[in-house]
Structure 1
């Protein structure tokens, strides 16, 4: 579900009323905990956190005009989603997150490759998300991206 917005604030103003608080709190958690080097923007119709061209001029291999994406949050049709590239690209971070999640939430983890789905917004583990955000710096993401993902 793409929301047409130019800023994160506009994005939040357009999400369903019952999700505004959760999206806002998720946004603040991420902004507070992401290391230096990431910037917030609207990316692919979601609130995104990217490595800007000023730090990584090559941009995203799928579209070099786009900055290198790292994380996004979105209000989807049936859930709130956190997309986190570190969980996808680094098996240690993935395994850590999967092991820690049950310590915070009693229901089963609903997760794809980089997508963590929260169907019950009352159980979003903000503290765990903050810790996840601190696990990788922008430079570590660039290095991992170049090593594992970027197509030559």
Structure 2
């Protein structure tokens, strides 16, 4: 469910109250842990955290006029989603996340390649998502991203 909101605050304001709280808490923990250089924006109709063109002029290879995505959060129809390109592109981080998840939640992990889905809002491991957001610097993310492109 993509939003037409122009800002993260506007996006959150449009949500139902329970989703507003969950997305606000995710946003807060991400902003508290995200390394310097990443920028919060609206991207693909959700709140995104990207490497701005000022730091990576090439942008995203699929759509170069967009900045390089790193992490996004969204309120979908049946779940809250955290999209993280790092768990998709780095097997070590993926393994770390899967193993750590069991320490934070008794719920079964519902995860695709880059999408982590939370159907029950009270089962979102906010601290773990914050730690995931802190795992790489902008430069490290660019290096991982470029290494994946060369494959």
Q: Which whole-Å deviations, capped at 9, do the CAs of 1:68-121 have from their partners, x for residues lacking one?
A: 010000000000000001110000100000001011110110000000000011
Stretches (4+) displaced over 6 A:
none
State the TM-score, normalized to the length of structure 2: 0.97
Unaligned runs of 5+ in 1: none
Cα deviation, residue 51, structure 1: 0.1
Q: Work out the CA distance in 2 between the residues paired with 1:68 and 1:7.
A: 18
Offset from partner CA, 1:37-75 (integer Å, 9 cap, x none): 100000000000000000000001111110001000000
Task: Give distance in 2, aligned partners of 1:33 and 1:150.
Answer: 29
**Stretches of structure 2 lacking an aligned partner (at least 5 in a row):** none
- 2:64 aligned residue: 64
* Larger deviation, residues 73-82 vs 14-23: 14-23
Partner of 1:108: 108
Matches within 5 A, 1:37-56: 37-56=37-56
**How many angstroms does 1:17 deviate by?**
2.0
Q: How far did 1:19 drift?
A: 0.6
C-alpha displacement of 1:123: 1.1
After TM superposition, the structure 1 = structure 2 runs for residues 130-141 of structure 1, keeping only pairs within 5 Å, are: 130-141=130-141
2:8 corresponds to: 8
Structure 2 partner of 1:90 = 90
C-alpha distance in 1, partners of 2:3/2:65?
Answer: 21
2:73 is aligned to 73
- Asked if the contact 1:61/1:150 (under 8 Å) is kept, the reply is no
**Helix, strand or coil for the counterpart of 1:69?**
strand
